[in-house]
Amino acid sequence: MIDALVAPLQFEFGVRALLAAALVGLVCAVVGSYMVLRGLSFMGDAISHAAFPGVVMAYLFGGSLYLGGAIAAVATALGIGWISRRARLRSDAIIGVLFAGMFGLGVAIYSAIPNYVGDLFGFLFGDVLGIGLGDLIGLAILGGMVILVIWALWKEFLFATFDPLGAGASGLNVNRLDYLFLGLIALTIVVSIQAVGIILVVAMLTTPAATAQLLTARFGRLMAIAIAIGIGSGIAGIYVSFWLNLASGASIVLIQTAIFFLALALGPRRGLLRRHPARAGAEGT
């Protein structure tokens, strides 16, 4: 048993993978806590797919995959925000249009690369066991920036998420906070692509926070639980991946999904097996 736990630590790539997975779990949980409450889960999915053409372009021209992905993701995130403020369309329609359009662009560019036999699987589903030291440092810096911004503005984000009108009327610049948050989602996704890939990153953002929402009715605790799930599942996923020789991103996401269903079944708040039915509303009008 001890051997099984220590085994990945004997390899440098194993240690890097564990650090990267824990870091991605942390950053995704923090951003995801707000994202889920803002109803932006679908937005997260869209932005991650939108990063694809940027990653492919960066590969094509030999640039940094992170930079390419970040530019495409942030541009799309801000584009969705900008268009939904102007066009008379529901934002989910705009998200659908840009999401598919950007992903299609990525596929088109990818298919145009002559004789390309590169690892499409890695882009789409992540390969945290292959992460290099430089990538890990870049990931730590970007992730740290995201955490720092949230730490500085957690009250403001909370107020603007809960009651945008009240927050705006009392002097918070809600528009700017909205754009900033979209930017943070985009950065978080770029940070996570190496670990879990474009397709699965939305689970890293959504599942820990959604699970925490089943377990608590207080925002501070919600974020703490999401962080615990994010980091824990990241580390556990690497071990499962190492032991069973499964894809790392899929392992992490499946563990999170399992925890979600466990919370759904046993959770105190709305769990299917809760002991006391929650009082639905009135305690004397």
Partner 1 sequence: MIEPHAADARAAADPTAEPIPADPGSPDPHDHPHPAEHAHPAGRELPAYGTGHELRHAAHHAAVVLSEVTAGYDERAALTDITVAVATGTLLAVFGPNGGGKSTFLKVIAGLLKPWSGHVHVLGAEPGREARRVAYVPQAEQVDWEFPVSVWDVVVMGRYPRLGMFRRPGAADRRAVADALELVGMADHAQTQIGRLSGGQRRRAFLARALAADPDLYLLDEPVTGVDPTTQEDLMRILEAETRRGKTVIATTHDLAAAAEHFEDVLALNRTVIAHGRSDLVLDRDVLSRTYGGHLLVLGGEPLLVDDAHHHDQPPGREQHFHDGTHR
Give the footprint of partner 1 on this chain (CB under 8 A).
Answer: 37, 88, 152-153, 155-156, 158-159, 162-163, 165-172, 213, 216-219, 222, 278-279, 281-285
Closest separation between CB of residue 169 and partner 1, Å? 3
Closest separation between CB of residue 43 and partner 1, Å? 17
169/150 Cα distance (integer angstroms): 22
Q: Are 185 and 42 in contact (CB under 8 A)?
A: no
Nearer to partner 1, 55 or 222 (CB): 222
Nearer to partner 1, 84 or 213 (CB): 213
Nearer to partner 1, 213 or 233 (CB): 213
Closest separation between CB of residue 153 and partner 1, Å? 6
Closest separation between CB of residue 134 and partner 1, Å? 32
Q: Are 63 and 257 in contact (CB under 8 A)?
A: no
Nearer to partner 1, 62 or 284 (CB): 284
Nearer to partner 1, 112 or 152 (CB): 152
DSSP 281: S
DSSP 129: G
Closest separation between CB of residue 248 and partner 1, Å? 31
158-168 residues labelled b (16+ CB within 10 A) or e (exposed)? bbbbeebeebe
Helices (H), 61-173: 65-86, 91-112, 120-125, 133-162, 164-169
83/166 Cα distance (integer angstroms): 24
Q: Which helix (H) or strand (E) holds 187?
A: helix 174-215
3-state secondary structure of 282: coil
154: left (phi over 0), alpha (psi -120 to 50) or beta: alpha
Closest separation between CB of residue 90 and partner 1, Å? 14
Nearer to partner 1, 114 or 171 (CB): 171
